[in-house]
Structure 1
Amino acid sequence: MLTKEQIAEIKELKDICEKVEGYELKLNFDMLENRNEENKEDFFHYEDGKLVGFLGSYYFGRKVELCGMVHPDYRRKGIFANLLEAGIEESRKRKAKSVLLNAPASSQSAKDFLKNIPCTYAFSEHQMKWHKTELMEDTSISLRTYDYAKDKEVEIQLDVLGFGMEEEDARAYVETIKEQDAQQRMIIEVDGKVAGKIRVSEMDGEAWIYGFVVFPELRGKGIGRRALSKVVKREQEKGFLVFLDVEAKNARALKLYESCGFKSYQSQDYYEI
């Protein structure tokens, strides 16, 4: 588990890097603040007692995403290369099937670094922010709190059918996020029957939507749009700015989010190592 001091150091370094290059790093603080003490998932580099390099690893079953940064004044010294090597070595020990390095699409320093390591571009992801628009109301759609004992199997099924995860990975991921207190996990129901799921993480005035999926056979019926509208309305009334991520090539999801008032403001690129 990371200490409050470590979280503060990471946020301070993140702010410096983002201010210099004008991008936004995807460091998943909801996951950083709920680390398991048994796993080595975060890697630090200090100089003169100051954090100047950081790499976080985020496991989704046997897939791991890596994202990190180095203070602008300490670059070209091999710091990030060493952090990345440590992160990859740990992923090997944990038998990760896929290792992805995440970098802001607008980061020139990331592009320069990627030229020198063996990796292949995999996909891009849009980060989207909700802008005020009229939202649908539907009393037949309901959201109830996720119950681990009751809903674990349906969550696994939704991850397999909706996100293409292998069942073994989906089961591992369910256990990974079980203890993440910052996330609200909800089941979407239509007329009392399970139709999908959604998670919301509230932190620092922002609400991020994750893991949103509806059973494939129920798509095209407006369920997703109505459920999303309900979640956005609730978060907006609580005073949160609302955000989500969507894979760039997922045209159907992109269209859905845009219809609910979401607009893309930046992109993240992923590279397979």
Structure 2
Amino acid sequence: MLTKRQLQDIEQLQKKCEAYDYVQLKLNWEMLGSRESFQLDFLHYENDELVAFMGLYPFGSTVEVCGMVKPSERRKGHFNRLFQQGMETAKEIGYKKILLNAPAGSVAAKAFLIKQGADYAFSEHQMKWQERSLEEDDDVTLRLAIADDLDMRIRLSVEAFGMNEEDAREMESRYSGQILMIEVNQETIGKIRLKLEAGESWIYGFSILPEWQGQGIGRKVLRRVLKDQSSAGHSVHLEVETKNDHALGLYESVGFKAVHAQDYYVYQILDM
């Protein structure tokens, strides 16, 4: 696992890079703080200062990659070396899909990824709810998930997100935060996960069975969650892919506004 000092060094480097580039990096701190080994993290120090970092973040058979270099230490090959090490590790582990992540506004990151032969796949928007009055909805029930809901949660990830069952089972088994099941007429038809981070309530994994979609249920669920979280004094945030136009329109309709964006590129490992 990463040491306390390494985590502090990563946080400080992130702040420096974000301030310099006017971007927001997605370093998946929930995963960084719970690493069980150093295998997925690559750090480079100069004179006892962390100047480059890259992390691998597995989600089933897919791995996301994100990293950064201190502005004054760029163009010295630091990140390229970390990248090669990371790709060797990804190849050894056998991930089926590699997604390279970079802030949408970072010209330097985009140039590096294109140079590596990566192909643009999609963008993801971080959205924040802009507080507004909301209607009351009483015909949708939200309840805490129990152990017996695991199969339904897996089914929802497969049918609503298009995941394979193996990846869905692996991801559902390690989810943290509050998982709520969505019921209509006492029938479970969806799920939504909430995670509280420093006064911010983040929505993840919001999904409804395909046969129940298009009936306004998603909007009702969001209004219920927004009222509950805002009443508790929390700001509400989420992430959504731009290629999912229906989801984007749904979130915008209840008051969410995009504030940051991340670009994702697919990378194919060549023989090293």
**TM-score normalised by length of structure 1:** 0.92
For 1:89 and 1:186, the matched residues in 2 are separated by 39
- The alpha-carbon distance between structure 1 residues 91 and 196, as it changes in their structure 2 partners (threshold 3 A), is same
Deviation digits for residues 1-52 of structure 1, max 9, x if unmatched? 33433332222111111111111111121222233x1572222111222111
For 2:134 and 2:55, the matched residues in 1 are separated by 36
Match of 1:50 in 2: 49
2:45·2:51 contact (CA, 8 Å) conserved in 1? Answer: yes
Match of 1:115 in 2: 114
Residue 214 (structure 1) aligned with residue 208 (structure 2): yes
- The alpha-carbon distance between structure 1 residues 173 and 94, as it changes in their structure 2 partners (threshold 3 A), is farther
1:30·1:201 contact (CA, 8 Å) conserved in 2? Answer: no
Alignment of 1:61-72 (within 5 A): 61-72=60-71
What amino acid maps onto 2:236 in structure 1? V
- The alpha-carbon distance between structure 1 residues 218 and 18, as it changes in their structure 2 partners (threshold 3 A), is same
Query: How many percent of aligned residue pairs carry the same amino acid?
Result: 48
RMSD over equivalenced CA pairs, Å:
1.7
Deviation at 1:212, TM superposition (A): 0.8
What amino acid maps onto 2:121 in structure 1? A
Match of 2:23 in 1: 23
- The alpha-carbon distance between structure 1 residues 57 and 33, as it changes in their structure 2 partners (threshold 3 A), is same
- The alpha-carbon distance between structure 1 residues 271 and 226, as it changes in their structure 2 partners (threshold 3 A), is same
What amino acid maps onto 1:203 in structure 2? E
Match of 1:198 in 2: 192
Pairing partner for 2:243 from 249, 259, 262: 249
- The alpha-carbon distance between structure 1 residues 22 and 154, as it changes in their structure 2 partners (threshold 3 A), is same
1:13·1:71 contact (CA, 8 Å) conserved in 2? Answer: yes
3-state SS of paired residue (2:137): coil
**TM-score normalised by length of structure 2:** 0.92
Gaps of 5+ in 1: none
2:141·2:182 contact (CA, 8 Å) conserved in 1? Answer: yes
Residue 169 (structure 1) aligned with residue 167 (structure 2): yes
Deviation at 1:94, TM superposition (A): 2.1
For 1:222 and 1:142, the matched residues in 2 are separated by 14
Match of 1:13 in 2: 13
Match of 2:270 in 1: none
3-state SS of paired residue (2:115): coil
For 2:38 and 2:142, the matched residues in 1 are separated by 33
For 1:39 and 1:143, the matched residues in 2 are separated by 39
Deviation at 1:252, TM superposition (A): 0.5
For 2:111 and 2:142, the matched residues in 1 are separated by 45
1:88·1:99 contact (CA, 8 Å) conserved in 2? Answer: no
3-state SS of paired residue (1:199): strand
For 2:181 and 2:201, the matched residues in 1 are separated by 17
For 2:85 and 2:250, the matched residues in 1 are separated by 39
- The alpha-carbon distance between structure 1 residues 194 and 57, as it changes in their structure 2 partners (threshold 3 A), is same
For 1:32 and 1:237, the matched residues in 2 are separated by 30
For 1:200 and 1:5, the matched residues in 2 are separated by 29
Gaps of 5+ in 2: 268-272
Deviation at 1:132, TM superposition (A): 0.9
Pairing partner for 1:154 from 123, 135, 152: 152
Match of 1:264 in 2: 258
2:2·2:37 contact (CA, 8 Å) conserved in 1? Answer: no
1:63·1:99 contact (CA, 8 Å) conserved in 2? Answer: yes
Deviation at 1:141, TM superposition (A): 1.8
- The alpha-carbon distance between structure 1 residues 233 and 2, as it changes in their structure 2 partners (threshold 3 A), is farther
3-state SS of paired residue (1:115): helix
2:144·2:181 contact (CA, 8 Å) conserved in 1? Answer: yes
3-state SS of paired residue (2:14): helix
3-state SS of paired residue (2:86): helix
